[in-house]
């Protein structure tokens, strides 16, 4: 569980007009919390507190706490609405969870030891095909991220979903055993410019192999 804690208050004014007043006049973010064995509830947060919390990557993939009028709720962020061009959070959707709830969630992938990879030392470049993966687990087992250690990845190696080391109790939402869903996550290859140059050198015909044409004049 993330160590994020946001303080919320209940709100009774509903509708678009009330939400606009909250944002413009009171600098607050309207939100709704639902799920569990309780009814949906309309709440709001201080905008600056929300912006600060959103700077923490774990808020998007972890269970965190909010207090509503002093009472603690365990939640996950289900939806976030931002202004199209202003740095303003328009609305948040939160879902109540318990430790044993089964969650399906996208979590980020963190790549470590990239500078130590043999493929990089040999002049290759890294291609990150995925930056997040979808997993399923109980709320208590939800990881903030999945780590991929690049220390042993060589030139032209490809790390697939089936190679990921998942925490205990965590599984991918796709079946990678049949091969068709075992998508690549990251790979190391030679830069394209270098590959093109090597291919050109390989197809270059040696001068000794080019036939000479006689310049002698044919006599009748």
Which pTM was predicted?
Answer: 0.77
Q: What's the rounded mean pLDDT across residues 86-101?
A: 92
Report d(CA 122, CA 153) in Å as an integer: 11
Q: What is the pLDDT of residues 4-33, one digit of tens each?
A: 899 998 877 665 655 666 666 567 899 999
Question: Which contiguous run of DSSP H or E holds residue 24?
Answer: helix 16-25
Report d(CA 155, CA 161) in Å as an integer: 18
**What are the start-end ranges of the E strands in the chain?**
5-10, 28-34, 41-46, 64-68, 71-82, 89-96, 102-112, 125-128, 132-138, 146-149, 158-160, 171-172, 184-189
In order of start, what are the domains of the chain with their CATH numbers? 5-97 (2.40.240.10), 103-189 (2.170.120.20)
Residues in the chain, total: 220
Q: What is the pLDDT of residues 138-197, one digit of tens each?
A: 999 999 999 999 999 999 999 999 999 999 999 999 999 888 899 999 999 999 766 555
More confident residue, 55 or 2: 55
């Amino acid at each position: 569980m993330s160590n994020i804690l946001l303080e919320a208050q209940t709100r009774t004014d509903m509708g678009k007009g009330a939400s606009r007043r909250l944002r413009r006049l009171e600098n607050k973010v309207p939100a709704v919390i639902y799920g569990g064995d309780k009814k949906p509830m309309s709440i709001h947060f201080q905008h600056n507190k929300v912006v600060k919390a959103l700077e923490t990557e774990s808020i998007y993939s972890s269970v965190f706490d909010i207090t509503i009028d002093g009472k603690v709720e365990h939640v996950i962020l289900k939806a976030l609405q931002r202004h199209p061009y202003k740095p303003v959070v328009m609305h948040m959707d939160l879902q109540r969870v318990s430790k044993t709830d089964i969650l399906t969630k996208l979590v980020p992938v963190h790549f470590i030891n990239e500078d130590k990879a043999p493929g990089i030392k040999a002049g290759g470049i890294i291609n990150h095909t995925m930056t997040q993966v979808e997993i399923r687990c109980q709320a208590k087992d939800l990881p903030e991220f999945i780590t991929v250690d690049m220390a042993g990845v060589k030139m032209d190696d490809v790390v697939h979903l089936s190679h990921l080391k998942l925490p205990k109790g965590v599984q991918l939402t796709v079946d990678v055993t049949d091969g068709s869903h075992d998508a690549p996550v990251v790979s190391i290859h030679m830069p394209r410019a270098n590959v093109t140059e090597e291919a050109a050198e390989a197809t270059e015909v040696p001068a000794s192999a080019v036939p000479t044409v006689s310049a002698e004049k044919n006599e009748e």
